[in-house]
Amino acid sequence: MKKLFFLIILLPFLSAAQTDTTLSENGSITSINEEGINALVIKYETILKARNGADGWRVQLTFKAKQEAIKQLKIDFRKLYPEISAYLKYEEPYYRVRVGDCRTRLEAIKIKHRISKDFPGAYPVPEIINFSQLEDY
């Protein structure tokens, strides 16, 4: 009796459930969105292109006033960790070496822990990350 009661109660909800994707006979997935969703996605992509990327994180190794010293640090980092991208950035009055292309702060912290024995003063910093640069570490 309880099973029949729950079936009668749940049947209308299960039959009226909506989905935003359908699977065709040939195995392709078709997305069915509410009106206006595609326009919002296009607007979001336009904003990201105007900013030249999305919000992300990098790990700053250090900053110095002399460009020669900071270039050598970047070269040393690239020798030790060739799989992690490194960037030399100038923001008055300092040159900065930042590494990694992380979408979240947690990913940046993982890189920080990985390189901490060679670069103990490194710390995560927020930065605009280009989509083509995003990788998993």
| Binned average pLDDT, 10 residues per bin, the chain of 137 residues | 65 55 63 75 82 88 90 93 93 92 94 94 91 52
The answer to the question of residue 74 being in a domain is yes
In a domain, 42, yes or no: no
71 falls within a domain? yes
Whether residue 116 lies inside any domain: the answer is yes
Strand order in 94-102's β-sheet? Answer: 86-91, 94-102, 54-64, 123-129
Domain span including residue 85:
54-133
Q: Determine, yes or no, domain membership for 98.
A: yes
**Spatial CA neighbour of 84 closest among 68, 67, 99:** 99
CATH of the domain at 113: 3.30.70.1070
List, in sequence order, every residue forming a beta bridge with 62; answer none if it has no partner.
97
Q: Looking at the 3D structure of the chain, how many domains does it have?
A: 1
On whether residue 44 sits in a domain, the answer given is: no
Residue 92 lies in a domain: yes
In a domain, 27, yes or no: no
Helices (H) and strands (E) in the chain, counts: 4, 6
Give the separation between CA 88 and CA 46, rounded to whole angstroms: 27
Q: What is the pLDDT of residue 4?
A: 64
pLDDT of residue 27: 65
Residue where the block lists tokens 């890189």: 111
pTM of the model: 0.65
